[in-house]
Amino acid sequence: MKALIFEQFGGPEVLIYKEIPDPIVQGDQLIVRTKAIGLNFADVYRRKGNYHLAGEPPYILGYEGAGVVEWVPAHMTHIHVGDRIAFADVPFANAELVAVPVDRAIPLPADITYEQAAGLLLQGMTAHYLVNDSYRVQAGDEVLIHAAAGGVGQLLIQLCKRQGARVMGVTSSEAKRQIALDAGADEVILYTKDWVHEVQQWSNEKGGVQVAYDSVGSTLMDSFAAVRTKGTVVFYGMAGGDPAPVDPRMLMDTSKTLTGGDLWNHVTSLENRIKRAHDLFDALRDGSLKLDTLTRFALKEGADAHRLLESRQSTGKIILIP
């Protein structure tokens, strides 16, 4: 099979598209021929050596995608060759063939494309647990979303609007501001402005929003200033640097809540994966969730895809096509 591999850590130039042996099945796994593969910042971090990688090179990146089942163990009767499958948290996805554990194989309905599934699952399930588990967004809530033009940011906007919330986004440029508005945000401001003050003024109660979703990290204390008394800050990323330490006395004095979020603490079973995926698919069907900004690269052009992702000039999701 062909795969996008690397044999040493470094920049996008270390990525090579070449022929390698087919995956070896271990335990209850399927072989899936990929049709579309999602690209994530975790792939960049692994390529650079920031994240630990087990085993020896050549290494293969990629953790989500969608395709067609090509081989099934003889004892398995509920999945068949030819079935359409989507998956998340499955390593070595940057290849024509992927060994997918049965407990991570999400049936893909006929009306959802491979590209939609590969562009949606990881970021979509992240947005899904953030608005349903970390803080349950209700109709009438006022919500602040950092990095609102990014992949998760756009999905968060749409899922919050689907729940009936008012949404304010924060972005780094006018172009990204427009993208967040197009995703459905009620208002979007720039980080170059006094955005905390603007959030406080925008809120109907003038004291701040009920919840701030912070994936930037370095903005954490400003997020606290932007939420009202008894408000919540959901911290789930550090794209802009490490957050400042939080004094628990401040939380006591303001009755504000800080909670963290990691997808894999919430998605813990096949049943849960399927339920969240089907919720997202339903939102695609009824039009409350749109994936209008998929950027496509051939898998053999993976280095160019990584360069675009690292430039932070991309919006929405980048997918790789074998």
Point out the least confidently predicted range of 193-197, 237-241, 318-322: 237-241
Q: Model confidence over 151-192: pLDDT tens digits?
A: 899 999 999 999 999 999 999 999 999 999 999 999 999 999
In the chain, the domains with their CATH numbers are 2-121+265-321 (3.90.180.10), 139-260 (3.40.50.720)
Average model confidence (pLDDT) for the chain?
94
Q: Are strands 59-60 and 2-6 parallel, antiparallel or unpaired?
A: antiparallel
Point out the least confidently predicted range of 29-43, 46-60, 214-228: 46-60
pTM higher than 0.85 for the full model?
yes
3-state secondary structure of 234: strand
If you write DSSP's letter for every residue of 23-66 in order, what string do you get? PPP-SSEEEEEEEEEEE-HHHHHHHHTSS---S-SSEE---EEE
Give me the pLDDT at residue 310, please.
87
Give me the pLDDT at residue 56, please.
80
Give the pLDDT band (50/70/90) at residue 41. confident
Give me the pLDDT at residue 204, please.
87
Q: Model confidence over 194-207: pLDDT tens digits?
A: 999 999 999 987 78
Give me the pLDDT at residue 51, please.
78
* CB distance 39 to 295 below 8 Å: no
* CB distance 295 to 314 below 8 Å: yes
Q: Report which residue type is found at 25.
A: V
Question: Cα separation of 205 and 208, whole Å?
Answer: 7
Q: Would you tell me how many other CB atoms lie within 10 Å of the CB of residue 238?
A: 14
